[in-house]
Amino acid sequence: MSIRATKRPGRTRRLAIFTGIAVAASVIPAAAQVSASSAAAEKPVKGGNITVGIFDQVLTTCYSPNVPNSALGVLKTVYEGLVEKSSDGKFVPFLAKTITSSPDFKTWTLTLRPGIKFSNGEALDAAAVVLNLQALNGDYYLKNTATAAHTAGSGIPFTANLRSVAASGTDTVTMTLWTSQVDWLDTLYASGRFFMRAPSTIKDKTECATKGVGTGPFMFDTVTPTNVKVKRNPNYWRKDKAGTQLPYLESITFDVQQQPTQRLNGLRSGKYAAAQFTSAGEVKQILSVQESKNLGSVSSKDVFYPTWWPNQAIEPFNNKNARLAMASAWDNTTYYKLRNCFKGKCLGNIPTSIVGKDNVMYNTKGFVKYDVKKSKEYQAAYKAETGKDLTFQINATLSDESLNNAKAAQQIFAKAGIATTINQEDGATQVANAFPGLAAAAAGKLNPYQAYAVLLFEGEGTGFILPFLQQNVFSEPGNNAKTERSPLLPIAGTALNLTRHKDTALTDLLYAAKQDITKARPAKLKALTKYLQENAVVIPTPTLLYTYGFGKKLRGYDTFELAAGKTGIPMTNAGINWTGIWVSK
């Protein structure tokens, strides 16, 4: 999809939780929307201290617990990854200069861009990259269990296919995989979550948790869960096309405000120079920003696919009839009208598959359509088997709009005779509960929610989809980590499996598709989608949109220049890239 820019006189023109219930996606038409700033007509100037409104708490700058969407955007001002995603949806080297694979896609070799340093002066060399990858896949923790528990996060199961990593000289790193994986770069990107941290940050749990060090344009100044200030990195490795040292801004303060109305008011009043919104309950605010003559905006592409995740390890969704009853009762069209529209204008798209049409897994076969009669038949079958009426709990975050989303879902399920209750708690807490670290997983503290609505699936590929569907990522055929690396690893192998399923047929279909490097792979992926849908393993909701609003003096947010002259995606679930943002005088 392309970025469409529109100029208006006097105008300047985002692992994530989706708040409670899945809501809308992209502004119609589906391509990402950008209200263009006038940066092209002005020369960027340095300086400026701005405050930005976001909606997710920043609980750590370390590996665990996972930070949700807008909090991820905060970390990305300090941390950078080996790869980035370009505007055409491809994964390209960023901190890496080149990345190549062997013909069987089991061996991947990267070379680093020369001369890059972390903000504390440590070199980003091959040794540092090896340490980072070993921290991600758990090797560092396994060798330092007494001192490295802070590194034992969800990256361990996510990189389960990484068998070993080794340095060749000062700038070359070789990654050896257990099995063939054509989308390894997607894994290295991990929805923008896999960063390179300074060796000192990895080795010091206090530094890692409170003020981690990266290669990025900014450095952490003060960090609390609800307020984070980052300041300019004076030795950042990038310059703009004119040779000016980046970044332009002196500092950014990210202020957590969970109520969307307050974020909008702060943007209008000038308290916030920018504010992030999600269409998960914030449609009114997004449309208000987009229609304002005094504000600019940029929105994400329609590549975020929220879903319900029925928990098969606990009642009631350990029963297939219960899952099918829920899927048949879920009315996407009604929910779309209730929560995705405001005064005749709507955001997002009604799903016809668990992923969007641009994704390689897209398939309408097996898709469970809204049918109250069918739902009641499944409910009757469930009661005949268990002696119980179907009821379950759904989640909302602390914002009013998220609670309204949950109430709308309650109304929909009630129409089919299904009673639900609402659990309301902070979004960051939900993410931490749903995606436990290694210690929590080892203690059996896995996803506790009966039906968790969350954004996990995204993009055009499978790298940020398949890991969440695997029964145990360390039980993949060909993966011998249990004996070659450590018997502790399988303990974390189920941490990403929100459904907590033990479906061997699903597992067989998944690995057959995941490891395929031939032209047969797309057909195998579509067969997997059909199985997931007809068994109500996950249940799709309207696609999701992220939007940033900007005050009229902010410039440069409609472009994201990558390191090799390519253009990045201006807006993702994490927000925008702040490297090239500046304040007009």
CB 278 within 8 A of CB 419: no
Q: What is the CATH number of domain 79-214?
A: 3.40.190.10
Tell me the pLDDT of the chain averaged across its residues: 91
Query: Mean per-residue pLDDT for 147-174?
Result: 95
Element (H, E) at 321: helix 320-329
Query: Length of the chain, please?
Result: 585
Q: What is the pLDDT of residue 40?
A: 54
**CATH number for region 33-65+216-300+546-585:** 3.40.190.10
Q: Which residue has the higher pLDDT, 12 or 206?
A: 206
- Where do the domains of the chain lie? 33-65+216-300+546-585, 79-214, 304-540
Q: What is the pLDDT of residues 412-421, one digit of tens each?
A: 999 999 999 9
Give tens-digit pLDDT for 300-316.
998 999 999 999 999 99
Quote the pLDDT of residue 441. Answer: 75
Residue 557 has pLDDT above 70, yes or no: yes
Q: What pLDDT does 581 receive?
A: 97
User: Which tens digits make up the pLDDT trace of 177-191?
Assistant: 999 999 999 999 999
Query: In the structure, what pLDDT confidence band is assigned to residue 41 with cuts at 50, 70 and 90?
Result: low
pLDDT over 50 at 471, yes or no: yes
What whole-number percentage of the chain has pLDDT above 70? 92
Q: How confident is the model at residue 10 (pLDDT cuts 50, 70, 90)?
A: very low
pTM score: 0.90
Cβ contacts of 308 within 8 Å, gap of 6 or more: 22, 326, 330, 451, 452, 453, 538, 539, 540, 541
Confidence (pLDDT) at 428: 79
Same fold, 33-65+216-300+546-585 and 79-214: yes
Closest CA to 63 of 128, 121, 137: 137
Average pLDDT score over residue span 266-278: 97
Provide the pLDDT for residue 66.
84
Looking at the structure, give the CATH architecture of the domain made up of residues 304-540: Roll (3.10)
How does DSSP assign 202-250, residue by residue?
Answer: HH-HHHHHHS---SSSEEEEEEETTEEEEEE-TT-S-B-TTSPBS---S
For the stretch 350-387, pLDDT in tens is 999 999 999 999 999 999 999 999 999 999 999 999 99
pLDDT of residue 542: 94
Q: Cα–Cα distance between 170 and 565 in angstroms, integer?
A: 25
495 vs 419, more confident: 419
- pLDDT category at 18 given cuts 50, 70, 90 is very low
